[in-house]
Structures are given as C-alpha cells and as structure tokens.
Amino acid sequence: MRITTKTEIPVKCDPGTDSVEGIAQAIRDLQVYGIGEKLSLKIARRFGRYAFDRMMDSEDFCYHIDGIGQQKAFMLREKVLERFGPELRKKERQDNEAQMRYNAFLGEIGAHGFMKRRIAEMFADEDVREIERKIRENPYLLTDIDGVGFKRADEIAAKLGITESDPRRIKAGMVYVLKELATLEGHCCLPREELTKKAAHKNVLNIAQTDVVPVLQQALTDGDLVEDGFIYLPDMLNAEKEVAERLQQLMQTRGLGMLQAHDSMKLATMTSNIEYNYQQKEAVEKSLMYGCMVITGGPGTGKTTTLRAILRALGRQSYALCAPTGRAARRMRESTGKDASTIHMLLEYQGTFGRDEDNPLWQDVVICDESSMIDLMLMRALLRAIKPGGRLILIGDNDQLPSVGAGRVLGDIIDSGVVPVVRLTEIYRQQDGSYIIQAAHDIIHGRVPDLRNKSNDFFFIPAADDDEAQQTVIDLAARRLPTAYPGKEIQILCPMRKDGYKVGCNVLNPLLQQALNPNGWPMEISDYRLRRFDRVMQMKNNYRLGVYNGDVGEVMGMEHTVRKWTSTWDNKEHMKVSDEPELQVRYPDRQDTVGYDSGALHNVELAYATTIHKSQGSEYDIVVIVLTSSAYIMLQRNLLYTAVTRAKEKCIIVGDRKAIETTVANWRLRPRYTRLKELLKE
C-alpha cells in the first residue's frame, strides 16, 4: 500500500488549489516564456490538480496539449523540478519511512493477504500513519471487515497490549454478541441481563459478568448501544422504529373504496374459469383497498391463484413483483407469467440501494412473495423505496421458519393487528395419489403424517441410528435417486450443521462431494478444498460481490482476476493482476462468474446438503430430509413443516419415527427478541 489519493496516484506536487483558475495561475507563476493565460488554462483543464505531477514525471505531457512543443515542455519541467524538487524529496523520504513502519506494523499484527487488502479498502482515503494510529487505538475496528471476526480482532488486540478487562474489549464483545445473535438466532435486541451474561461467557470475553455491567452503562451513555426495553445496536433500533413508522404511513394510504373494490374483484374472478372461495375474494378486495395488507396460508391453499386474480383486478395500475431470493422470484415469474425479480434487483442494489425515498419505485403497487423470509433490514430498504401513495402486498406462509436475518417481520406484522390479514385455509393443490401437501398440513396442525401411506411422492425410510441414516442418505443421493429420476434436482436437508453430528451438513457434505463429484478438478485456496462443478452456497450477504444469503451456485474453476481503472492524471487505462487466484462460481440469473479471494471464501460452503433454515424460499424436485433423535435440540414443528414444503415432486424422510413424533409435538418456537409488534401498535 502507498500513500495515495482515491485515484491511486501518488501526491507529489501540491499547487495549493483544486480550481482550474488557481492551477492555471500557479503555472503562470513559474514564469516560463511563452506560457501565458491561454496555455496555462489548457494544461489546468487537461490535468487538473495533477498538472504539476504530470509535468514532472515526463515531458510527454506536451503531446496532449496543442501549442506546447518540446522546448516549452522542457522549460516547464525544469521550473517544476526547481520549485518542488527539494520539498518533494523530503516528503517522499518521509512517506517511504512511514510506509516501511506501516508494513512492519501489519506484519506485527499478522495482517497479510486478504486482510491487508481489506484494511486498505476500509481506510481508502487515509494516510498509513493515521490508519496505524486508529488500529492501535482500537483494533476492534477491524471487526467491520468481512472475514475478520471478534476472535481475530481480539488476538490482534492482545498483541497490542490490550488487557482482557479493557473497556474497549468489553464493549467490542457486547457488540459482537448482538451482531452474532442477530445472524445466528435472528434477535434484534437482547435483555440487559442476557447480553451481559453472553458477553462474559468463556467463548467470548471469558470474564466475570460483573465486569461487563459498568462498561454496558458507559456504552449506553456514549450512544454506542441504546436501550428501549431491550439493548440494541443503534441502527437496529432505528430500523425497527422506521419499519413501524413506514408501515403506519402506508396504512394511511387508501386505494379503491369498498364498492369499487368489490366490483373490481367480481370482474377479475368472473373472467377466469376458477371458482374462488370467500377468503380468496376477500384477499383480492383488501389488496385494492388498503395501503398494506398480508395474505398468508399454507401450501396448496391458493395463494398463487389469488395473486393472479389480484393482478387482473389491478387493471391499469402498475405493479412490481418481487421475492427475497432468486429461486423464489423465478417461481413467482413462472406461476404468474409476469416479470419478477429479487428485492435487491428491484431496488437496484449496487453496493447501496439505488431506490429509496429520494428515488422511489415508480410502480403503484409492490407485491412480495415469500415474505416470511424478509428480515428487518431488507424490509426497511423495501419500505423506503415505495413511492408516496404507493401500496404494499405481502404474501407468505407465517407457519414457516422466520427469516434467516434479524427480526420476525411478517409474524410481527400479522400479530400486531394493525395491518389487514387474510388467511387462506382451504386446500386446493392436492393431486390424486399425492401426499406431500396433506403431510405438511398434518404436521403444522400437530398430527404425525401417515408414514406408511402408499403415495408415490412421500416416503419414510427408517434408520436405526445416525450411521445407518448417513449411509442411506449417501446411497439415495449418489445412486438410487439419480438412477430412478435422472435430471431431477436433489437436495439433502438437515436440522443442523454441527461438527461431529453424523447427519449434519458439515459431516455429510464432504462425503456427498466424494460420492457425487469424485472426478472434479481439485482446487485449494487458503484452507478451502473444493472441486470444479461442486455445488456451493453463499452463507451470508456479500454486497460487495452482489451475492446473498442462500444463493446456490456451481464452482467453475480458479483464475487470477484483473482489476482495471482509468487514471485521471494521464487518462490511461491501468490494470493489476490479483496476487492470488480467485475461486470462480457461477450463479443462476447472472451472466458473469463471481470471484472469491481467500477473504471472502469463508462464507462459501458445499451445498449438497444444507440446513432447513437455508432452504427457505426454495423448491427442489426431490427433497431428502434427515431427522434423527440426536438432533433433539432443533426438533421443532415448523422446522419439519418448512422442510416438507420445499419438495415439488418427491419428499423422503430418513430417520426414526420417534424423532418425527417429537418434532410434531414440539410447537414451541424459539422466541426472537424484537419489539416491532409493539412499535406498530403505538
């Protein structure tokens, strides 16, 4: 890393101004014969603040300027060297010394490879001396870098002499707990006692809980954390309040009157050959009347049929169809025959959301499917983009697992009673001989499905223990199912990933990789061992790369990437080849491949088997669910319900009957700490 400007051009000579007129005057002050107002302005307009740098680097700059020959260029350069030479040599010497000290510092803290690059990106506009000062002062700033967690920053802090009881460390530990539990358990906040207890735990700070309490109070005083019933990160509390406020504002918006809505509903339902029930007609009417409404229901209850009726009823009103994931958007597109996109694409995300309150969506109505998957931050972004007077229709199954990210947005909206909700309960989509939908409804209503049924799409294969279940799953995925159903997409779903759990994702994936892709070209980058054509999943939103939590792709190979940019001082294109090869992954709906360096790879995992949570919003031709009693801590009714509803054609459960009975009986959901419901009622 060098001491550079944003354009990556070394600052050599400072004309003392950035204005064209000021630079031109500085050139004239050099008193070069033949360089008057006209030519000085040409140089200033052509090169801006880098005019002096360009003149000193080479006489060739004259080729870009009409009226300046070699003689004038030579005299200009001599004058610049005379004026800036001694000062420049001193500055370069100081800069080089600072760069050497900075490089030594990075080596001291073990920042190499991707981490060194991410630090440079994080502090792109700052001098290396200032970067080193900030990191020494608070190394926990590095936790903002993707791939550098609290544990790594804590190791660096120890090297820099920060003790375990240092308030900076304790505050960083609390922030880490809040962020980690938002990601892993979906909490938006935590009770004071739970936060201090979890932060003090041996796996985080490993100190007494009493040592955390005073630092928490100081963090609240300083505004680093905030308290509103629970303890929040400031942005998380702001997000909850903003979502509640914007939903309340939407409810002030009115569409058609009751009579107009009724007439539009009747016309829309009469123009199809489908007989709609009362609930579906009610959903169509309310979608036309209110600024925001929710349609919820299980599989086969006619949500898609209702959506098509709504689209007809909207008439000339413009609308946008979207869903949280690419797979869900594709399903929406296929079922309606209308264009649909991910929420990120709809909001024109490119590092930041291109659509917001200052540049809202132009459509009158936004309709979002699989809304149970929308987390708090994504809902905030979506609501910001709805134009004044616009409306929002949320469609989803509230009995499924909540979003992977923080919040319980759809559930809180429904439970608040503030937004109109229509529940579809009558089952339509159940073909002769099919048992998948019936099994799903049995599960969510607390009934164990008939595991001895004679259907052709729902099977139970008993396994005496985890070892037998593991072998059965591998045999199904690698031999039996591909032979019987060639070309079908097969997905293994597990309750959890846990190392050591024989039928968890972490154990199954390497075994499935060997069974399904034994001849794939092996690749190794950092500590990651993958093969060409491996099935992989993005495990966390990466806005820099434009890939999102749950995206499934295929490994294509490894290659050195080339970064190109055009310099402002010589108007030439420069390029740099990456220091290490990057893993190339192809995702559906993208023309290009995504390149992962070693710093981004930690969020890419094999996806032959994935957790049920990660499968939300997706459907697969054939689903194999592994369910054994050893995963008792995860056995919850909505977990199995979500897994079964992922299957389009075949659903196979491998495990033991007791585990299924336990899962169906356990209706208690793990609570998520969120106050959106209460805020909506205020």
Compute CA distances 381 → 4, 181, 237, 239, 348, whole Å.
34, 21, 15, 9, 11
- When mean pLDDT is compared across 81-95, 239-253, 382-396, the lowest value belongs to 81-95
For residue 389, is it left (φ>0), alpha (ψ between -120 and 50) or beta?
Answer: left
Q: What is the pLDDT of residues 191-238, one digit of tens each?
A: 999 999 999 999 999 999 999 999 999 999 999 999 999 999 999 999
Mean pLDDT of 337-348: 92
Q: Is 553 helix (H, G, I), strand (E, B) or coil?
A: strand
Banded pLDDT at 2 (limits 50, 70, 90): very low
Closest listed residue to residue 603, CA positions, set 614, 592, 591:
614
Q: What is the pLDDT of residues 517-549, one digit of tens each?
A: 988 777 666 556 788 889 998 887 777 777 877
Residues 6+ apart with CB under 8 A from 554: 533, 534, 535, 536, 585, 586
Is the pLDDT confidence value at 94 over 80? Answer: no
Cα Dmax for the chain: 100
Average model confidence (pLDDT) across the chain: 85
Q: Which helix (H) or strand (E) holds 642?
A: helix 637-644
Is the pLDDT confidence value at 47 over 60? Answer: yes
Output DSSP code: residue 146.
T
* Residue 12 confidence (pLDDT): 55
**CA-CA distance, 391 to 522, in Å (whole number)?**
50
Q: What is the pLDDT of residues 78-88, one digit of tens each?
A: 777 777 766 66
Compute CA distances 53 → 1, 64, 65, 568, whole Å.
20, 15, 15, 12
Banded pLDDT at 565 (limits 50, 70, 90): low
For residue 46, is it left (φ>0), alpha (ψ between -120 and 50) or beta?
Answer: alpha
Beta bridge partners of 226: 232
Q: Which of 100-104, 206-210, 662-666 has the highest average model confidence (pLDDT)?
A: 206-210
Q: What is the pLDDT of residues 432-476, one digit of tens each?
A: 557 888 898 899 889 999 888 878 889 999 998 999 999 999 999
- How far is Cα of residue 219 from the mean position of the Cα atoms in its chain? 28
Compute CA distances 185 → 149, 190, 613, 665, whole Å.
17, 11, 11, 22
Does the predicted TM-score (pTM) go above 0.85? no
Q: What letter represents residue 158's amino acid? A: A
Closest listed residue to residue 73, CA positions, set 89, 88, 86, 54:
54
Alpha helix locations (H) across 290-346? Answer: 303-313, 326-336, 343-346
**CA-CA distance, 294 to 292, in Å (whole number)?**
7
Q: Are 372 and 403 in contact (CB under 8 A)?
A: yes
The position carrying tokens 């303890």 is 231
Centre a 10 Å sphere on the Cβ of residue 625 and count the other Cβ atoms it contains.
Answer: 25
